[in-house]
Amino acid sequence: MVHSIPIRGEPHAHNTPITRPTIQESPLNNTAPPVADTATDTVVDKVVDKEIDKEIDTKADNTADAPKTRFSELALAPELQRAIDDLGFEFCSPIQAESLPYSLAGHDVLGKAQTGTGKTAAFLVQVVNELITVPASEERYAGEARALIVAPTRELVMQIAEDAKALTKHTNLNVHTLVGGMDYDKQRRQLHNEFVDIMVATPGRMLDFRERKDVYLDTVEILVIDEADRMLDMGFIPQMRQIVRYTPRKTHRQTLMFSATFTEEVMRLSEQWMHEPQHVEIASKSVATDTVEQHIYMVAGDEKFTLLYNMLQTISSETTIVFANRRDECRKLFDYLNAYGIKAGLLSGEIDQNKRVKTLNGFKEGKLNVLVATDVAGRGIHIDDVTHVINYSLPEEPEDYVHRIGRTGRAGNTGASVSFACEDDAFRLPAIETLLKRKITNEVPPEELLAELPEPKSPLPEQKRRPQGGGRNHGSRSHNGRDRHRGNGRGNNRR
Ligand code: AMP
């Protein structure tokens, strides 16, 4: 095969550390930094409201004092500005208006925003502008990426690449995608035919290519990590860590990270991977929850499953979403519900896209009455007649509470939400109430909702596990949870 661009051999010029301006010396640093910016100011001082689940709102008309930012005010490279004009984007959306002044000035940015807010363009505008403005190294080899964007799903990667192509259409910049489920050799051939300016990839595929030396990441000038919370939810952090290790150190690259929530884990990752990041967020508008009746049941942690089971008996003919915080918690709940004969579906990061679609359809068609979901997976649920939302555990982020209960009471219907608060999560209530700007009365659940559980209809998850190395008594259930369950109707049913 004839290669149109040089293939990187060993040893070669890039084996020495890349010398390029550090972020503070970036050629774009003459861009006026945002108001109130100081070197140490890493906390956003301005929070812009946005309406949940609405079409992109670039007018920022829900912030009386927020001026609109026109793209033309950002002094972008003319080729990029033309592409933005072609797309018909005139004003920045709130997340763009908040983050671009920082990223264009060369800062790392940690942005809190969901899909639908214009967050893709928020990072792509900086990526494209930087690659146009800073010339590529004269000595380039096949597979050397200048910008790397990692996103958790194939769909997201394809969407980002499409947007990147639209924004680079008046430039010579090439956009490559690396995703699983597509012909490896075809993706590899493309890498040999064109320089890589922008690489958009899922973590697993990215690592495959890097480990086979079809791609090099030590030339990466900008690293973008999209949907960091979903990466965590889907268990991609070990791969992501490896990918980050292949890129230049954090002071020698610009890192932009976006996440719908800023959980402790997201913040920890940002500390590890980012250099003095500016935090930018658009807050949820104080919310349209009038159509949702809200209850808080105070229970002991080991009563939660009993309460859930009994509640589901009373509302069995209706559609209920049960939220929990972690995917292992969701998996366990799902297993327990099914063991107790409740037809439940599971939506969490561990479930692949096809299965999620099937589960959602099953729920919509009434084949499943209950969905168990993590926050991240739950954001994709747009079903108008969900009657109940149950928060099995209170979310870490108050905004997630609002998103969760917003799954019910939609399209003019009324809905009910019940949150279980126990010794481990009740401390999260005040922040939720602050966000809601109202108190929610704590209730003790009625005694009948704590009635003893019946026998499970099929073995509980721990009963399915076989004793390690035992060999002989494989069929016996005598020592597993069943006996313990009999002895204690509530105590062992933690989830
Ligand atoms: P995203 O949140 O990145 O998925 O973007 C949501 C949608 O908003 C996409 O269809 C974008 O093309 C569109 N969009 C992004 N930025 C703007 C903007 N400033 N003005 C109008 N539409 C936009």
Distance from Cα 115 to the centre of ligand 1, integer Å: 9
Best residue for ligand 1 mutational test, from 120, 153, 163, 200 (most atoms within 8 Å of Cβ): 120
Any atom of ligand 1 within 6 Å of the Cβ of 419 = no
CATH superfamily of 292-450: P-loop containing nucleotide triphosphate hydrolases (3.40.50.300)
Cα distances (Å, whole numbers) of residue 427 to 298, 305, 396: 12, 20, 10
How high is the pLDDT of residue 481? 32
Distance from Cα 87 to the centre of ligand 1, integer Å: 10
Ramachandran angles phi, psi of 282, nearest 5°: -115, 125
**pLDDT, tens digit, 9 for 90 and up, residues 87-99:** 999 999 999 999 9
How high is the pLDDT of residue 216? 94
Query: Residue 256 — very low, low, confident or very high, per pLDDT cuts 50/70/90?
Result: very high
Q: Which of 169-173, 258-262, 350-354, 443-447 has the lowest mean pLDDT?
A: 350-354
Look at 339 and 405; give whichever has higher pLDDT. 339
Q: What is the mean pLDDT of residues 176-198?
A: 90
Look at 142 and 58; give whichever has higher pLDDT. 142
Any atom of ligand 1 within 6 Å of the Cβ of 258 = no
Any atom of ligand 1 within 6 Å of the Cβ of 8 = no
How high is the pLDDT of residue 372? 94
Q: Residue by residue, what is the 3-state secondary structure of the chain?
A: CCCCCCCCCCCCHHHCCCCCCCHHHCHHHHCCCCCCCCCCCCCCCCCEEECCCCCCCCCCCCCCCCCCCEHHHHCCCHHHHHHHHHHCCCECCHHHHHHHHHHHCCCCEEEECCCCCCHHHHHHHHHHHHHHHCCCCCCCCCCEEEEEEECCCHHHHHHHHHHHHHHCCCCCCCEEEECCCCCHHHHHHHHHHCCEEEEEECHHHHHHHHHCCCCECCCCCEEEECCHHHHHHCCCHHHHHHHHHHCCCHHHCEEEEEECCCCHHHHHHHHHHCCCCEEEEEEECCCCCCCEEEEEEECCHHHHHHHHHHHHHHCCCCCEEEECCCHHHHHHHHHHHHHCCCCEEEECCCCCHHHHHHHHHHHHCCCCCEEEECHHHHCCCCCCCCCEEEECCCCCCHHHHHHHHCCCCCCCCCEEEEEEECCCCHHHHHHHHHHHCCCCCEECCCHHHHCCCCCCCCCCHHHHCCCCCCCCCCCCCCCCHHHHHHHCCCCCCCC
Distance from Cα 52 to the centre of ligand 1, integer Å: 15
Distance from Cα 124 to the centre of ligand 1, integer Å: 11
Query: Ligand 1, atom 6: nearest CA belongs to which residue?
Result: 116
Query: Residue 196 — very low, low, confident or very high, per pLDDT cuts 50/70/90?
Result: very high
Any atom of ligand 1 within 6 Å of the Cβ of 56 = yes
Any atom of ligand 1 within 6 Å of the Cβ of 115 = yes
pTM over 0.85: no
Give the closest residue to 347 by CA, choosing from 413, 304, 404.
404
**pLDDT, tens digit, 9 for 90 and up, residues 375-401:** 877 776 667 678 889 999 999 888 888
How high is the pLDDT of residue 214? 93
Query: Ligand 1, atom 16: nearest CA belongs to which residue?
Result: 118
Any atom of ligand 1 within 6 Å of the Cβ of 92 = yes
Give the C-alpha separation, 59 to 68, whole Å: 6
How high is the pLDDT of residue 348? 84
Q: What percent of the chain has pLDDT over 90?
A: 48
Domain positions in the chain are 23-284, 292-450
Query: Residue 59 — very low, low, confident or very high, per pLDDT cuts 50/70/90?
Result: very low
Q: Are 254 and 291 in contact (CB under 8 A)?
A: no
What is the identity of the amino acid at 436? L
334, HSE (Cβ side, Cα atoms, 13 Å)? 22
Query: Ligand 1, atom 18: nearest CA belongs to which residue?
Result: 89
Q: What is the mean pLDDT of residues 162-170?
A: 97
Ligand 1, closest atom to CA 71? 19
How high is the pLDDT of residue 410? 64
Distance from Cα 493 to the centre of ligand 1, integer Å: 45
Any atom of ligand 1 within 6 Å of the Cβ of 58 = yes
Distance from Cα 114 to the centre of ligand 1, integer Å: 11
Give the C-alpha separation, 177 to 158, whole Å: 7
The domain 23-284 having CATH identifier 3.30.360.10: the answer here is: no
Q: What mean pLDDT, rounded, does the chain reach? A: 79
